[in-house]
Structures are given as structure tokens and as C-alpha cells.
Amino acid sequence: MSKRRYPINPAEWISQLAGLRGQDQVALLKTAIGLYDSKSHSLLEKGLGIADILLSLGLDNETLASALVYPALQVNEIHLDSITDYLGESSSKLLHDVLQMQSLDKLQHLEQRGSLQLENLRKMLLAMVTDVRAVLIVIAERLWLLRQAKNEDKAAQEKLANATLAIYAPLANRLGVWQLKWEIEDLCLRYIHPDVYKRIAKGIASRRDDREAYIQNFIKTLRNTIEQAGISDFQVTGRVKHIYSIYKKMQRKNANLEQIYDMSALRVLVQNIEDCYAVLGILQSGWQQVPEEFDDYINHPKPNGYQSIHTVLIGPANHFVEVQIRTYQMHQESELGVAAHWRYKEGVLQTSNYEAKIALLRQIIEWQKEVVSTDSAPTAQPSKDLFADRIYVFTPLGDIIDLPKGATPLDFAYTIHSEVGHRCRGAKVDGNIVQLTYALQMGQRVEILTAKQANPSRDWMNPHLGYLTTARARAKVAHWFRVKECIQNTVNGRELLEKELRRLGISNKIDLNAIANKLHYKTDDELLAALASGDVRTAQIMHYIVPAVSEPDLPVIEGREDETGGPPNIQILGIDNLLTHIARCCKPLPGDAVVGYVTRNRGVSIHRRDCKNITNIGNDSKGRMIEVSWSEKHAEKYSADLFIRVYDHPGLLRDITTLLASEKINVLGLQTQRVSDSPEVDIYVTIEISSRTQLKNALDQLQKLPNIIQARRR
């Protein structure tokens, strides 16, 4: 009935439908037509047109009856209460969904919205209905309007075509109602680019009916050839490419009409991959191929998982025919699975959850076609709760925001922009003030009230208080507090450092950025924040400041001193009561070969003999070196620096600190630095130990840890 002449005669339409489905199947449809009075002829004509389109899809009588009365419902000629009385509650609910979808037509400039907004609008249309048949009624109405628009002015035609092409053609594509999609797209192209449409139509040369007859003859020939080759379980189907599809391919490939080889196409479905290549061999031996148009997506699937063999043959009368060869499973995955054809055509990436719902919707439509021929009515709402996990709400400007079900105005604010969320002080929903914990509903208009300054509350991060439902929004709040604390830590760290510099009487200008780089921080602010938080000690920073002030040629360090001013474990040969300190540059331990260096104003600095500052000392300073040795009385604790290189992995620092703790070693400081363009990490650890033996044992144990590349004393 899809090629019926308009206007449709109601009596003839009912009579033909009774012949298709039986006389007992048309009572509901007669009731629907009877709801119109004699003055509503144009509305009934529209209802019959929409219902006839849906009849071509094989939909049930309840859907057809709802489509029949829908035009009268739009203009309040019929009310939903009357529909419940005459057609039943199910039809009333179905039409309620249709009215909800059509309310979005009031949004301005649909066709001018960005790709993300258009995608959200399509999702919203599917999410706001409880019955997928409502979507089909709206798509059918769009097709009917396009058919009637031939008598409209050009501006009206373009407006209708642009909005339909942006929203409803992709929906028809996703739901698999190809025959509606193809006609919708062709009519839209005819109104938007009439010259292009006419040029392609003329270039195709033969009429569509002739091309379809050509395809059917080719299918018959190919079936016989495959059967003769001994392949039994297969299907061959064909189609003629519609004008809009040819136009899009010309754009995509930047090609002219003569370079489009798949205006006629066949699809061969077989049981297994071996049969795919067997059929390919049959085609190669029976017909000439176009080599540059061959693609093997079975051996080399597309990124979305799509698998098939594509080839172009030169068929009878030198017509190009594209042939796709795939297994039944590949076809099922292509049509309903993660490699869904609509993703490839529309260039849109979706979540697997959304794809699963689209697949289920397509299966529901097929189920509707199957049950329509039986006496039993559908036993459940076809698409109820399929999209119940998402809601779609509007900004004051009419943009659509996609949120999880249960989202609050605060979630909405953080989805718009982090700064809007940080400054949020209240919200209006459909013009009314609501609490920030209010659960938003589908289709509501949300306005955020903001303060001049950002001031989030820590309560917002508490999932039990209900301010935020999305982890991403809570993370944005947490980040704001981390940044704020970092700023305060920077101020506090600067105060700590300045206090220490005043204590030591150091007034020289300090290059903190250089020190930050040596301690593996990006900026001086990061270093000061780490100082305030305890991640860096004042002594670590002073290590790079004091030498430059007090002893240019040798770095020095304050040691653990006894009552006479020197470490109790060092003996200076021939000299008593000299101030001694352990050098920071090499941090010698009892048992190390050591040497003393008499500084200008800080006594004797004790170094390892292999310390680079000692081995590189100038001749003019060698006279200041003196012999020292370890006494039998040792200090209880010494600091030592370790260098560890390791492959990065979860729990890395935990493993190292746990091992050191088990050796009864206290960790004084720890810094990490990633090796550029490598999975390796360098770790610098300052520890407190009692002997070289304890240090050796610790290094031995560290070397045994998984992923450790190197562990040594610095």
C-alpha cells in the first residue's frame, strides 16, 4: 500500500485492510475513523496518510488506529479522555508519548544546533517515550508532511527538510525502518538542493523500477550459480541505492556520479567464513571485478568491529553492482550489535549501553510485525524503561543536557561548566525555586543562580546528603578544595622558609625555582606547598641554600652534635674540641673511609674519601684537609640517601616503605621522578639508620622486590 494515490478513500482503505488481515481486525480502525466528523476531512486525510505509511511497516491495528486519530488530537478536535473511551487506555498512553515528542518541535532552529545537541535531542526523543511505536508514528508523520510539502513555498520546504534530516532521518536509521529513511532523505534532498537532486536523478538514467528489476534478475542468476557450487545454506538480497545515499557518498569520497559503483548492491549471507571466501571465488570466476573497490573487512575488521567482504562487479549490460558477503552472525552484529551500521553512517560513537537499547528497539519492531498477524495483542509495553537510566533537561537557552536519572540541579551546573558549579547558590526548575538536592525530571528547564565568587561546600562531596549524584561533579568539587588548600599551603610554606632564613641570618636572594627543580617539583609554589604539607623538610631546602652562603666550594650539613659541639663518633687526630658536622653531600656512615675538611666558619666538615667534592678539590685547598677516624662510640642514628629505579606499578611506594619499616628503618624524606618517555620511575629516599650493616641489608632486600631495576646508596 506504500505507493497509494492521495487522497485516500477511507472506505477503500478499510476494505483493502480487511482483505489483508481479516474482517475482524478492522473494527478498531473503523471506530477511529468514526471519531471524525464531516468537517474534519483534511485531518482525516492526514491520519489516513500516516496510518498507511505505518501499514507498509506491518504494524499492529492499535498503532494504526492511534495514527488515524492523532491529527485530530493535535488540534484538540479529540481529547485523550475520548480516546481512552473509544480506543482503549493503551492507545491513549501511546498518543500521550507522541504528543510529548511533538512538543519538542516548538524548539527553535533545530537544524542549526551543533552535533552534540542534535545527538542529545535524538536520545531525548527515545528516552521520553514508554512505547517505541510513538517514535514510528512521529517518523511517519514527518514523511507524510514531506510528501505534502511539494505545494509549499521554498522557505517552508527547506525548514521542514532541514529539521527532519537533522533529527528524524537518523532515528529512522537507528530503528531500522529503512524504507521510511530512504524516502525521507530523498525528499529532504529534493527540497534543500533541488538542482543536485535533479542532476543525480538524471544521471542514474534508468527509472528506479527498471533498476529494481535488474537487481532481481541478477539475484536469480547469482542464486543459481551459488547453488551449483554446492553451497546450500545462504541468502541473497538486493537493493537499489537511493538518491540521497548516492549524494552523501559523492561528498564523502569527493567523487562524481560516474565514480560511484554501488548504486545497485547485493548482499550474500552464508553460514561460515569458509563459505564467504567460496562465494567470493564464485564471483571472481563469473564476473569481472573493479580491483580498487575490493575491501576485506573479515581479515581486517573496521575499528568498530564491522566484518564483511565488499567487492564491485561489472554485471550484465556493463552495470556496476556492489556485492557484500558476510556470515549470518556478522550480519546480526552489524544490524543489531556493537558494529551497528548507523554508527558508521552517522559518524557517531555511543556507549555500549545505548547501543544495546537501540538493538532491543529494533528487535521489538520486528516482534510487532510478527504478532500483528495473530489474534493475540501485545502483552507488554514494547519499550518501557529502556531509557529509564537517563534524563534530558533544557538550559534557559534551550540546549539539551544529558544526565543520569536522579541528577540534581548541582549536577546540571557542573555539567554546564565547573565554574558554574563552584558559584552555584540556588536553582530554578520551570521557573520555580527548588532545593539543590531536588531530583530533576525529563524535559524540565533548569536555571542556575550563581554568586560572584566561587565557594563550594564540602557537604556537596558527601554522597549521603544527596547534593551530587555523579562522580565527575564530586571530583570537580574535590579538585577545587585541593587547589584552594595548595594556595594556602604555598603561603604557609613561604612563611616557614622565610622564618628559617631569618634564623640563619641569610638575606641573599634565593632561586627557589632552581631548588624546586633539584627536588623534582615543577615550580617554586609547588615546593613551598610541599614544605607546608610536610612532604618536604626545611633541611632539604637549606641543603641547597646554606652552602652557597657559608662555604662556596663544599656543601655542609648540620650533624647530630654532642655537648662539646662535635659528633661523638668522630676522632680528629691531634686536635681536640673542634666543631664537627657530617657533610650533606655524601653523608658518611661509621665504617666509611672518611676525611675532614676545615671550613672557614663552621668547624670541620666530615666527608667520605670518595666524595666528589673532596676528589675534585683544588690544590690551594688541600692543606685544609685533616685526618679523622670513627671512634668506638657511635651515634645512635645517621641519615643516608638512597637512589632506586623501578618500573612503575600500583602500590610502588607502599611496597618500598613497608619493606623499610620491616627493617626498622625510619624514612625521613621521599621524592619520585618519572624517567621521560619511559615506564621507569626514579625514587630518592632519605632514611635514618644505625649502621652500614643495616643499610646493606636494606639495599639487599630492596633489590629483591618485583620491578626493581636498581637500588643503591647515593
Question: Which amino acid, residue 577?
Answer: N
**Parallel, antiparallel or unpaired: strands 390-394 and 424-429:** unpaired
Question: Which amino acid, residue 354?
Answer: Y
In this model, does residue 378 exceed pLDDT 70? no
Question: What are the tens digits of pLDDT across the range 216-251?
Answer: 898 999 999 999 999 989 999 987 778 888 888 888
Question: What are the tens digits of pLDDT across the range 361-371?
Answer: 555 555 445 44
Buried-state track 88-102, b at ≥16 Cβ within 10 A, e below 16: bebbbbbbbbbebbb
For residues 275-295, average pLDDT:
91
Degrees, nearest 5: CA angle 299-305-306: 75
Of the candidates 115, 80, 114, the one whose C-alpha atom is nearest the C-alpha of residue 100 is 80
Query: Burial level of 664, CB count in 10 A (0-12/13-18/19+)?
Result: exposed
Contact 579, 628 (CB under 8 A): no
Question: Which amino acid, residue 429?
Answer: V
Cα–Cα distance, 645 to 184 (Å, whole number): 64
CB contact set of 649 (below 8 Å; sequence gap of 6+)? 706, 707
> Does pTM top 0.85 for this prediction?
no
The CA–CA distances, whole Å, from 685 to 589, 606, 713 equal 16, 21, 9
Residue 671 C-alpha from the chain's centroid:
34
Return phi, psi of residue 526, to 5°.
Answer: -65, -40
Residue 379 confidence (pLDDT) = 40
Contact 691, 589 (CB under 8 A): yes
Residue 434 confidence (pLDDT) = 93
Cα–Cα distance, 706 to 652 (Å, whole number): 10
> Would you tell me the crossing angle of helices 243-253 and 178-192 to the nearest 10 degrees?
70
The three-class DSSP label of residue 518 is helix
For residues 251-272, average pLDDT:
79
Residue 113 confidence (pLDDT) = 60
In this model, does residue 577 exceed pLDDT 60? no
Cα–Cα distance, 644 to 660 (Å, whole number): 13
H or E element that contains 268: strand 264-270
How many Cβ atoms sit within 10 Å of the Cβ of residue 46?
Answer: 22
Asked if the peptide bond before residue 7 counts as cis, ω within 30 degrees of 0, the response is: yes
Cα–Cα distance, 468 to 643 (Å, whole number): 44
For residues 464-468, average pLDDT:
90
Cα–Cα distance, 135 to 118 (Å, whole number): 16
Residue 305 confidence (pLDDT) = 75
For the chain, which domains are there? 10-192 (1.10.3210.10), 208-349 (3.30.460.10), 390-469 (3.10.20.30), 554-623 (no CATH), 638-713 (3.30.70.260)
